[in-house]
Each structure stands twice: as structure tokens, then as C-alpha cells.
Amino acid sequence: MSRQQQIAQGDREALAAEFNHYRPKLKRMIQFRLDHRLRGRIDPSDVLQEASIDVARRASEYAAREDMPFFLWLRLITGQKLLEIHRRHLATQQRDVTREVTIGDIGPEVNSHFLASQLLGKLTSASKKLEKAERQAILESILNRLSCMDREILTLRHFEELSNGEIAEVLGISKTTASNRYVRALARLRRELSEIPGFLPDD
């Protein structure tokens, strides 16, 4: 019997072991999606602790969702807990404040400013012609011109390190669509950045 079958049948030890196995990936998701106003106030480990309690309480639900990979089910519960924490601490239900989105089972939308700061080290090795703040502002502006879906695909692929299949499951699209949109979004980023002197290498 597989561990996921054990979990579906109510094995709490198997559930705890599997949650701990995926803890680093879940923590990375929380770090990327935690509202900037809560950074320094909310520890991602505390969010994980609350999420683990919900996972244990809702373990019976997994039996009805065995078609969903177990990690994505854990990610779904953790994302819901993060949304709850946003509402609790920001004391608002306004969508423009928490930047919530409803594309699949994403969780809170990643902030473009934070995404730009993280992408700088992955996509470019810009020369000293441009200051870091200027480079980040340029990249943030380009990211904001992408669709919400494409920003999410870049985040899920580069920072949550999900496969195309997992991204497709989270976003409710086909694996081929997820792959094609990722390639196009990355190509657009590189194309727009290549037109800016001093941003990409060899300018």
C-alpha cells in the first residue's frame, strides 16, 4: 500500500511524514506569496504550522481527491490558510488590498515588485550601467505588462519549482498550454530586456 493510500485511509503518521517531506516546497510558496506588509510580522514557519493543523483536520477530504497529486493537495490547503491569514491580519475583504486571485488553486497572487527583485538574479547579469533599483523598476514594469496567468506561470516554474504538469493542475489548464505560455512569457521578458542597453550581458 502506498503512503498516499495510507493517508486516504486515515493514517496520521503517514500524513505527518508526507507533510514534512514537502515542507521546504510549501515554505517557499508561502515566502513568495506572503503580503509585503506582513513580512517581518508573520513567520512562514508559523503559517506552515497552522496549515499542518488544517491538513490533519481535513485529511478525510483527500480520499475524494485522489486524482490530485498529494503535494498539490497540501499546497491547496496551505494556500487557503495563507489567504485566511492575510484576511485576519489585514482586516479586510477587499480584493485590491490582498491581491487575491482565483486562477485555479494558486493562493495569494505573487507581488510584481517582489517577483522582479527575485528574477533579477535569474534572468540577467546586468552591467554596472544600470543601478539595481533602476533595473528592478524596469523589470517590474515589464512584469506588470504580462498577464496575471503568465506571471503566475513564471513564479510556479522558477520559484516554486513545479513541473509543467503540476502547473497545469494548479492553473486548470492543459500541460501543453502551461508549457507554451511559459516559453512565450520567458521569451517576451528576454526580448524586452534585450532592447534596454546595459540590462543583458554583452551590451
Q: What's the mean per-residue pLDDT of the chain?
A: 82
pLDDT at 104 over 90: no
3-state SS assignment for residue 134: helix
Residue 122: predicted pLDDT? 61
The residue among 159 and 5 whose pLDDT is bigger is: 159
Residues 147 and 93 in one domain: no
Helix, strand, coil share (%) of the chain residues, nearest 5: 70, 0, 30
Window from 15-29, 89-103, 105-119, 183-197 with minimum mean pLDDT: 89-103
Residues 147 and 61 in one domain: no
In terms of residue numbers, what domain contains 131?
112-194
Residue 155 lies in a domain: yes
Residue 95: predicted pLDDT? 46
Residue where one domain finishes, among candidates 38, 68, 98: 98
Residue 108: predicted pLDDT? 77
Residue where one domain finishes, among candidates 98, 127, 157: 98
pLDDT, tens only, 111-160:
787 788 888 766 555 555 557 778 888 888 999 999 889 999 999 998 88
Residue 60 lies in a domain: yes
**How many domains, in total, are found in the chain?**
2
Residue 180 lies in a domain: yes
pLDDT at 8 over 60: yes
pLDDT, tens only, 18-31:
999 999 999 999 98
Query: Going by C-beta distance under 8 Å and a sequence separation of 6 or more, which residues neighbour residue 125?
Result: 200, 201
Distance CA 203, CA 201 (A): 6
Residue where one domain finishes, among candidates 72, 98, 124: 98
Residue 200 lies in a domain: no
Residues 158 and 122 in one domain: yes
Residue 139: predicted pLDDT? 87
Distance CA 35, CA 111 (A): 8
Query: Going by C-beta distance under 8 Å and a sequence separation of 6 or more, which residues neighbour residue 165?
Result: 175, 178
pLDDT at 6 over 70: yes
Residue 145 lies in a domain: yes
Residues 42 and 89 in one domain: yes
Residues 84 and 144 in one domain: no
Residues 80 and 155 in one domain: no
Question: Which runs of E-coded beta strand occur in the chain?
Answer: none
The residue among 41 and 110 whose pLDDT is bigger is: 41
pLDDT at 93 over 50: no
Residues 63 and 136 in one domain: no
Residue 201 lies in a domain: no
Which CATH number goes with the domain that contains 136? Answer: 1.10.10.10
Average pLDDT on 90-117 reads: 61
Residue 160 lies in a domain: yes
Residues 127 and 151 in one domain: yes
Which CATH number goes with the domain that contains 37? Answer: 1.10.1740.10
Residue 97: predicted pLDDT? 41
Give CA torsion, residues 67, 72, 75, 79, to 10 deg: -70
Residues 7 and 94 in one domain: yes
Residues 68 and 127 in one domain: no
Residues 86 and 36 in one domain: yes
